[in-house]
Amino acid sequence: MDKSLTHLGRTGLVVSRLCLGTMNFGPETSKEDSFKIMDRALELGINFFDTADVYGWQQGEGITEKIVGEWFALGGNRRERVVIATKLYGQMGKDELKGWPNTGYVSALHIRRACEASLQRLQTDYIDIEQMHHIYRHAPWEEVWQAFDVLVQQGKILYVGSSNFAGWHIVQANEAARRLGKLGLVTEQSKYSLLQRDIELEVGPACQAYGVGVIPWSPLGGGVLGGVMGGQQGKRRHGDWVKQTIAKHGKQLTAWEKLCAKLGHEAGDVALAWTLTRPFVTAPIIGPRTMDQLEGAVKALDIKLDQKTLDKIDEIFPPFKPAPEHYAW
């Protein structure tokens, strides 16, 4: 298979090794520029797009999904060429429904209504991957899988994924699905970068064991791994959070940027390339605000990291030993 493509977890669906995150579309990036970025992503071979009903950050509006839907409506086989993943969980009640308790979370009712609303905003008749944005501890898995199965049978969704789940949640979900004869979770979106490797402890191993493809979000550690110790990105992104991160991880970041310079690549590109070496990762999410950021991200696909380099990276950013071995002595 082409190096820029892979299977989505254990499924037969083929997706690009980079996933285009759309969270900036609307709040940070205009509709017109968002259209250009999505067009260019297809030209670059990125066929995997991620969004969520709450993106756009105006409750109940689904602004980002609407932008993606308007782009699909332009035709040119845009919808047919894209694997679209969206998410449900957040409160989506508009003015007339604000305060009503069933406009969020993961009840059977909200799963159905959230899917229908996303279909309308995305201007499509099916969603490739419907993801639970967070775990909802009050709904039994029998209810959750029954609700999703109805949507699968109706042809409105193809697969189900999760986001921000613990390893235990992934085990619970897929064991319940197995008992019910369902496919279960096929993807998990987790915050994962060299600065935050804790999913290696349990989430990553659980996903690998169940064939759940991990889709890392914030693979550049909120941009910090892109070169904050110097250069234009560092000057541009020095907000309070970045300053706090530098204060805590400054020595690591300096060593990291020196290593990347020695490799002859931009630090952010190497950080993306590193995530692609992880055995449980399907595709890291890139969230470009501009065309230049998109063009830069695809360079990660051409970076090869040998074992010596990977060992050096582990020295700078120590890994977690997978559970249960992490606890053994």
Contact between residue 226 and residue 220 where contact means Cβ atoms under 8 Å apart? yes
> How many CB atoms are closer than 10 A to CB 221?
22
Q: What are the tens digits of pLDDT across the range 103-131? A: 899 999 999 999 999 999 999 999 999 99
Q: In the predicted model, is pLDDT for residue 235 greater than 50?
A: no
Report the distance separating Cα 235 and Cα 228, nearest Å.
Answer: 7
Report the distance separating Cα 329 and Cα 288, nearest Å.
Answer: 43
- Catalytic site residue from 55, 89, 105, 159: 55
- Confidence (pLDDT) at 238: 55
- Confidence (pLDDT) at 329: 66
Contact between residue 68 and residue 22 where contact means Cβ atoms under 8 Å apart? yes
Contact between residue 146 and residue 140 where contact means Cβ atoms under 8 Å apart? no
Domains of the chain: 5-223+267-305 (3.20.20.100)
Q: What are the tens digits of pLDDT across the range 45-78? A: 999 999 999 999 998 899 999 999 999 999 999 9
Q: Is 327 a catalytic residue?
A: no
| Selection from 296, 238, 287 nearest residue 268 by Cα | 296
| Selection from 256, 263, 267 nearest residue 296 by Cα | 267
User: What average pLDDT does the segment 266-291 reach?
Assistant: 96
User: What average pLDDT does the segment 224-232 reach?
Assistant: 79
Contact between residue 141 and residue 172 where contact means Cβ atoms under 8 Å apart? yes
Quick one: DSSP state of residue 212?
P
